[in-house]
Structure 1
Amino acid sequence: QQQQQQDSSIADKLRVLFNKKPSSTSSEPQQLQQQQQQQQPVLTEQLVESLSCGQDVELRIKAVQQLTELVSNRRLETESGGLERIWLAVRDLVDAGQTDNLDARSAVWRLVTALAGAYYPCLGYARAAMFQALQTDTGLPEVDSNPAELCDRIEALRVLTRSGVDLNLMEEEAGPLLCRWLARTGGSTSASNALFPLLLSIVEHNAGHLDHEHLSVKSWDVVHSLLCSHLGQATLLVLCALLESPDSSIEIARGSVACLSLALWGERGQRVDQLCPNYTSVLLCLLRALNRQSAAAGDSFVARQLAFDILASVARLLEAMTTVAGLRSLCWTVLLDLLDKCLFDFDVGGDAGDKEKVCLAIEQLLGFGQVQQKQRLFT
């Protein structure tokens, strides 16, 4: 017991040396809790007033930056509606046409990021209002000339959507906003690196809410640019690998079929002639993808969707035979295997007249003498 008293005395002396309070009785936890509550910052009228539009812009920017640092490091005690009051106080700094101060807008977006990160479950409709403000970039050429402005907006959207998972209250408008931002990231590596992971996450978790037609056009533009670049052959290999990968979803497989079809035997404005592909290898990838889906899903609607896309792709290839090089015998073997699989195993020939297109194209090619393995066509 004497040894314990000596140890306690030494500990108290050390606390005094380092400006610590000596050990106390069992009431210490209650005192510590009360002290923490007293030190917890409170949203006061004075704080809101320092953020409001009646103050000088530079003073408001400083107040916003201080509040951002405070929210990032400590829990701010707010009454009901306190977050909405903060947002309403600073909203005018990011309104189109209200201010051309880049520092002010950057400070507000960083405050939005901090608030959304710390109080996401409590934001409510303030979250939707913040998202609406993110879209007010029309008439702001500074957004295009200053990639940092766009990066701040992207980061704010990332936190407001929980890294692209939650599009509640913004389902219909997220897709067009992403497409506008995508068109602005061409000259900025930092903006591209910030936007693409968010875009992929949003598409992965919320594809049903996006404008498929609008998004597919933008997606094809990106893939087409890659295929036309020095990375064209590598991109072609990636598309084929996605078709054969057992981890690829049906949506990824269908997207790969569409890109390969457009790039290799699509219309002249879409076709990438410099690729010089091996058609047999590409058709084999299509056949393996169809066999994999058939084994995994059987004659289900999912597998029939892929079979329909492949049949349409084959029909486009046969129609393009007058402008592309003739197919070799092995290529015809794989092509006819694909037709057998689509027309007989999945019975998708009646959709959209693709069966008639295939028959008409083969008939024309027979007349030109470009069809090999003719005996198989009539057996």
Structure 2
Amino acid sequence: MIKIKLMILDSDEIYLERFTSVLNTKYQDKIEVHCFSNVQYANLFLVDNKVDVFLCAENINFDKKVLMPNCGFAYFCDKKSINQVDGAKAIGKYQKIELIYSQILDLFSENSSYKVSEIEAKGLASDKFVYLFMSAAGGTGSSTLAAASSMRLAKKGEKILYINLELLGDCKEFFVSEGHGNLSDLIYAIKSNNANIALKIESLIKNTKVGVDFLECCSSPLDIRDIKDKDINILIDTLLKLTSYTKIIIDADFSLQDISLSLFNVASSIILVSDGEKIANDKTIKLLETFGIIEKQNKTPLLQKVKIAYNKFSSKNAQQIVFDDVKSIGGTPRFDGAVPMQIAEQIANMAFLDNI
């Protein structure tokens, strides 16, 4: 396993002692930390030692030219709101250790010469699944069911990662957490042939109080449109091999572009969401018919992966879809007067989600 060699230069010796103690308590197996309060001693250490990440207090005059080309560098600042100092990245000193650690990982992933193949893989767990949520009709609440399923699985002790790949997706409707970066940064890293995609992912993942980890949505819809099938394959393959997640929930738009076709292939289960109304059901049936065509063209089983879930279902007007052997897992009625996060939390208590 790779152990990141971290070096910190800061004149505040009390802070360095406390910071090192906390860092070693939580990440001793992942980071080897060396702290200095004197520039001269720091330079002497660099002569004979390779450093992966170097953090320097913003008030210290340090010549970055002495660092090796593959060493990640950032200024250590008193204010966490500062993102850059003199063109270099900045990390706030006074924030949660988990947030500082994720930014150290980010620096390492962007600058290190280590390759993914050199990172110890944890292997593909036998109970690891990828659940793909999508809808043929807008407004049926597929994102709500995807978020609710994530919450329910987390309550059952599963290690869950939620990813929203919708063109106009917004994770903040369901999950709130501190952290930096988003899916746009990860897409850029993949397209740039970043050698440490696994570490980049780990640095961007955010944790929530409900037990669901997630990747923040893209900054711009254009970034989603720029994803190709090979990018999705790299992302999912890395997640399956190099993380401890047993369940990955993907919320995505339906299209016949490369991204959707790749998602169909990697998904263990495809959950199509309808509200049971005629318009949504008709569109869902067309989508199922399209799956049948794709199945024959590519000789890849799709329909056997598909399950139908209902959201905002009205017993007066709504009807269930009947299509070959495609199963319905049940559904939920409409919730009025509540925000999306509250609705997802209520749906997460419903047993029908165990059938996804």
How high is the TM-score relative to the length of structure 2?
Answer: 0.32
From the two aligned structures, give the one with the greater strand fraction.
Answer: 2
Higher relative contact order (CA closer than 8 Å, sequence separation 6+): 2
From the two aligned structures, give the one with the greater helix fraction.
Answer: 1
Bigger radius of gyration: 1
